[in-house]
Amino acid sequence: MEGRVAQDENTGTNGVSTIPLLTPCKMANFNLSHRIVLAPMARNRSYGNVPQPHAILYYCQRSSKGGLLIAESTGVSDTAQGCLETPGIWTKEQVKAWKPIVDAVHAKGGIFFCQIWHVGRASNTSFQPNGQAPISSTDKPIKPLVEANGEVIQEFSSPRRLRTDEIPKIINDFRLAARNAIEAGFDGVEIHGAHGFLIDQFLKDQVNDRTDQYGGSLENRCRFALEIVEAVANEIGADKVGIRLSPFAAYNEAGDSNPKALGLYMAEALNKYGIVYCHMVEPRMKTVGEKVESADSLLPMRKAFKGTFIAAGGYDKEDGNKAVAENRADLVAYGRLFLANPDLPRRFELNAPLNKYIRETFYTQNAVVGYTDYPFLESIA
């Protein structure tokens, strides 16, 4: 909150905000001054998988003193990509390129975690080294993504099922990526276990058809995720590790027949490693960007997990305040609203109107348009 005290009408007699989202929160060793988190968002502007200087302004605009930011999904290896111009963190050049971005966020008092990912089968041969097949828990492909008008917008290649003896190498890639993230100056990493990417392809029974110790039972399907958590926590310290999960979502054809049991098993199992946070996507986010009614809830997982719990997906100010006030989450991550409102915490504090997001420029490659040109409150007035 830029070191400012909240407006009078929102401030209790002790000077602490009465808006639940704007109250401080201790997250392991981090003293957060508010609970509004920048959700991880791929912005597809890291040319050649290298973060670019224009990301300095983008992340700086969204930084505040004591605010938590989660960087966009960042590849752990040369087989991890499946989307245009997403950043990586497996080469020295990428680590070096992240440094000024992280330094700039720190200069504004922000706390910055790097989301580390591998897309698995959500890829095609054009993204893979030597045009090889993408890797996954399975050899079943994802069907092409087709628009209502019949136009194919994304095609996926048939994946190659990882052999059991290849799995330690992938776990090691996550470990090294986490080490690199710390070298780049990040405060920690978020392991991307959501949205139908590689880790989720192991977690979900709609995808995972393995017969080894990484498939079949719930315990076996969660093994890959938990071995990554353990390796990363051992490398950089559990107090610097978070994970994102979306047990209820079915993105990239990764649904599960019993998402509640899956979410609960993971929440409980994670306690063993003492990681700093568990970040879960609300059941209402069944498809990308569309909010639907859902009778399911993250509450059992929130209760089971002993660390900081971050909820995300379809939140507005009112809803987020309610989640914190009712103790359903410690922190709330905002995606599209934060993308379009670089000063989102301030706008919530002042009850100011919000900029509308422009979906067409979410994933375009321009270094300014739809990226760093959303106006701040001052410039509107």
Ligand X SMILES: Cc1cc2nc3c(=O)[nH]c(=O)nc-3n(C[C@H](O)[C@H](O)[C@H](O)COP(=O)(O)O)c2cc1C
The residue (of 62 and 244) whose beta carbon lies closer to ligand X is: 244
Joined together, the tokens standing for residue 99 give: 């440094």
Among 316, 322, 314, 327, smallest CA distance to 248 is for 314
CB closer to ligand X, 17 vs 86: 86
CA nearest 229: which of 244, 214, 216, 219? 244
Name residue, tokens 């978070």: 242
What's the min distance (Å) between Cβ of 86 and ligand X? 8
Q: Nearer to ligand X by C-beta: 215 or 246?
A: 246
Mark residue 120 as left, alpha or beta (left: phi above 0; alpha: psi -120 to 50; beta: remaining): left
Q: Which is nearer to ligand X, 27 or 312 (CB)?
A: 312
- Closer CB to ligand X, 73 or 201, in the complex: 73
Residues near ligand X, by CB under 6 A: 39-42, 72-73, 115, 192, 194-195, 244, 281, 285, 312-315, 334-337, 362
CB hemisphere CA count around 50 (13 angstroms): 10
Evaluated on CA atoms 315, 321, 326, 330, the torsion sign reads: positive
Smallest distance from ligand X to CB 9, Å? 26
Sign of the alpha-carbon torsion through 344, 282, 235, 50: negative
Q: How far is the CB of 13 from ligand X (least distance, A)?
A: 33
Cβ 291 to ligand X shortest distance, Å: 7
Between 42 and 171, name the residue whose CB sits nearer to ligand X: 42
Closest approach of ligand X to the CB of residue 77, in Å = 16
User: Where are any strands of DSSP class E within 120-258?
Assistant: 135-136, 145-146, 152-154, 160-161, 188-193, 241-245
Amino acid code (one letter) for 208: N
Neighbours of 31 (CB within 10 A): 11
CB of 194 to ligand X, least distance (A): 5
Scan for tokens 């760093």, then name that residue.
372
Alpha helices (runs of H) in 41-163, residue ranges in sequence order: 54-61, 92-107
For the chain, what is the radius of gyration of the CA atoms? 20
Distances (CA, A) of 215 to 6, 205, 210, 220, 225: 51, 8, 4, 5, 12
CA distance 350 to 172: 46
Strand 36-38 to strand 74-75: parallel, antiparallel, or no bridges (unpaired)? unpaired
342: helix, strand or coil: coil
Q: How far is the CB of 217 from ligand X (least distance, A)?
A: 26
The H or E element containing residue 5 is none
Whose Cβ is closer to ligand X: residue 45's or residue 175's?
A: 45
Nearest approach in angstroms of CB 335 to ligand X is: 3
Toward ligand X, which CB reaches closer, 215 or 348?
348
The residue (of 34 and 210) whose beta carbon lies closer to ligand X is 34
Under 8 Å CB-to-CB from 108, ≥6 apart: which residues? Answer: 60, 63, 64, 65
Give the residue closest to ligand X by C-beta.
335
- Residue among 29 and 287 whose Cβ is closer to ligand X: 287
Cα(274)–Cα(239) distance, rounded to whole angstroms?
7
CB of 271 to ligand X, least distance (A): 22
Q: How far is the CB of 40 from ligand X (least distance, A)?
A: 4
